[in-house]
Amino acid sequence: MAKKKNKNGNNAGGLENGHLIDLRDVHKVYKTDAGDFPALKDIDLKINAGEFAAVIGKSGSGKSTLINMITGIDRPSQGEVFIDGTPIHLFNEGQMARWRGRNMGIVFQFFQLLPTLSVVENVMLPMDFCRMFTPRERYERAMHLLELVDVAEHAHKLPTAVSGGQQQRVAIARAMANDPPIIVADEPTGNLDSRTSEAVYALFEELVEQGKTILMVTHDDDMAQRVSRTIILADGEIVNEYLVRAMPSLTPEQLVSASNKIECQTFAPGEPIILQDAEPDKFYIVTKGEVDIFLSHHDGHETYVDTMGVGQYFGEMALLSDSNRTATVRASRTSEVEVAVLDKAVFNELMSQSEVTHEEIRREAARRSESQERARNGDR
Ligand SMILES: Nc1ncnc2c1ncn2[C@@H]1O[C@H](COP(=O)(O)OP(=O)(O)OP(=O)(O)O)[C@@H](O)[C@H]1O
Ligand SMILES: [Mg+2]
């Protein structure tokens, strides 16, 4: 997966060898009159500095709850939340507010600008609160940020006197006021028309280019395609994003259930993953690096067929036709390979549960079978 590179590394605030955002075994249970409701279950999530991540999932899947764990607006019932190495789940309220003011820019769906303050005063507020910059600098910086988001001409109006799109851009300027390394946005364009949404996304892309890390809840599929990482939630659990890429037609329930059964394996450069003629027992999705596919011949020589990269799957042909492996698959010589592995039984179960997925994978297998045939013939 192509990761966005920072132009400005020192702004990213990441750890040398760690993750900027690191949730470990996070659970969130809401206590309600009807009993305990588990909104997040066993969340392990790591986000690197400079990533632009979209959080997607159906209404009620736990997106806002997850975001609130990361901003410290709410706390996990169990588990740990490290931001840039800081265990924020251990903070008291005062520590949390001070830390958040300096480290997190938060953009809400409904802007949440203070109605009695002017636009520029709203943007100055986080700087005042955290005593960042001198008072004069605060005003200048706020005006500069408003220029960046193209609403400087409205600086001295009250929020209610500007449009929804303009209010949201003010909210983004406010989120950037203290130059936080992380910006978290919960459906920032939920109330905007598509043209204004586009402007907000473009601004986020620019901020990522400048080295910010952005985590954004969105319902917009087009946007989810444009980010460097998609985090998919279903029923309070994270679904394996590579499984979604391989089998996009599965239901959330099927994705959650299969995600929990995925095993991750690593192979050294050149190491075999599948051997031709062996009995098939697994289905693989490449999650890092590349694999090469070869046809082995009786005299020992091999014909190269294809290379599969991140997000592509292999091992489906023999599983679908219930025959032995038709080719050998090895980790590429140049790099280590990581794969997500599904057992034959789980794979077969998914195929029987989702006719559309079965058909999509069957079609791909047929295409590959032809290309193996061509490679075999070409080599004669
Ligand atoms: N304070 C609360 N008390 C009890 N249950 C809650 C509370 N907040 C959220 N929930 C429940 O937890 C689940 C997850 O809620 P959350 O707001 O995180 O979902 P979401 O994915 O953000 O949904 P949406 O797309 O509608 O914003 C929902 O079933 C919701 O009803
Ligand atoms: Mg929500």
Domains of the chain in sequence order: 9-239 (3.40.50.300), 257-378 (2.60.120.10)
Ligand 1 atom closest to Cα of 40? 14
- Nearest Cα residue to 216 out of 184, 173, 181, 182: 184
From first CA to last CA, the distance across the chain in angstroms is: 36
Ligand 1 atom closest to Cα of 32? 4
Pairing of strands 104-107, 182-186: parallel
User: What amino acid is encoded at 40 in this protein?
Assistant: L
What is the per-residue pLDDT for 333? 95
- Residue 90 Cα to ligand 1 midpoint, Å, equals 23
**Does the CA dihedral 39-41-45-51 come out positive or negative?**
negative
Give the residue whose CA is nearest to atom 1 of ligand 1. Answer: 30
Distance, C-alpha 361 to centroid of its chain: 24
Ligand 1 atom closest to Cα of 65? 18
**Does the CA dihedral 313-314-316-317 come out positive or negative?**
positive
Bridge partner residues of 115 (DSSP): none
Pocket of ligand 1 (CB under 6 A): 30, 32, 37, 39, 57, 59-65
Q: And the tokens for 202?
A: 């473009």
**Does the CA dihedral 316-265-21-51 come out positive or negative?**
negative
- Residue 47 Cα to ligand 1 midpoint, Å, equals 22
Q: How far apart are CA 233 and CA 351, in angstroms?
A: 22
- Residue 41 Cα to ligand 1 midpoint, Å, equals 13
Ligand nearest to the CA of 62: 1
- Residue 112 Cα to ligand 1 midpoint, Å, equals 19
- Residue 189 Cα to ligand 1 midpoint, Å, equals 19
Going by the DSSP 8-state scheme, the letter that residue 210 receives in this structure is T
Ligand 1 atom closest to Cα of 217? 22
What is the per-residue pLDDT for 9? 34
Residue count (the chain): 380
For the stretch 162-181, pLDDT in tens is 998 899 899 999 999 999 99
- Residue 39 Cα to ligand 1 midpoint, Å, equals 7
Ligand nearest to the CA of 63: 1
Ligand 1 atom closest to Cα of 68? 18
Q: How far apart are CA 204 and CA 209, in angstroms?
A: 9
Give the residue whose CA is nearest to atom 25 of ligand 1. Answer: 59
**Does the CA dihedral 221-207-233-62 come out positive or negative?**
negative
Give the residue whose CA is nearest to atom 27 of ligand 1. Answer: 59
- Residue 62 Cα to ligand 2 midpoint, Å, equals 7
- Nearest Cα residue to 187 out of 100, 113, 106: 106
Q: What is the pLDDT along the chain (380 residues), one digit of tens a residue?
A: 333 333 333 333 334 457 999 999 999 999 999 999 999 999 999 999 999 999 998 899 999 999 999 999 999 999 999 999 999 999 999 999 999 999 999 998 887 899 999 999 999 999 999 999 999 999 999 999 999 888 999 999 999 999 988 998 999 999 999 999 999 999 988 877 888 788 888 889 999 999 999 999 988 777 777 888 889 998 899 999 899 889 989 987 899 899 999 999 999 999 999 999 999 999 999 999 999 999 999 888 999 999 999 999 999 999 999 999 999 999 999 999 999 999 999 999 999 999 999 999 999 999 999 999 998 888 65
Give the residue whose CA is nearest to atom 24 of ligand 1. Answer: 59
Structural Rg of the chain based on CA atoms: 24
- Residue 178 Cα to ligand 2 midpoint, Å, equals 25
Identify whether the C-beta of residue 213 lies closer than 8 Å to the C-beta of residue 49: yes
What is the per-residue pLDDT for 380? 58
The per-residue b/e assignment along 170-191, b for 16 or more CB within 10 angstroms, e otherwise, is: bbbbbbbbbebbbbbbbbbbbe
Ligand 1 atom closest to Cα of 67? 18
Helix (H, G, I), strand (E, B) or coil at 141: helix
Q: Which residue has the tokens 């297998």?
A: 365
Q: How far apart are CA 192 and CA 117, in angstroms?
A: 22
Give the residue whose CA is nearest to atom 16 of ligand 1. Answer: 62
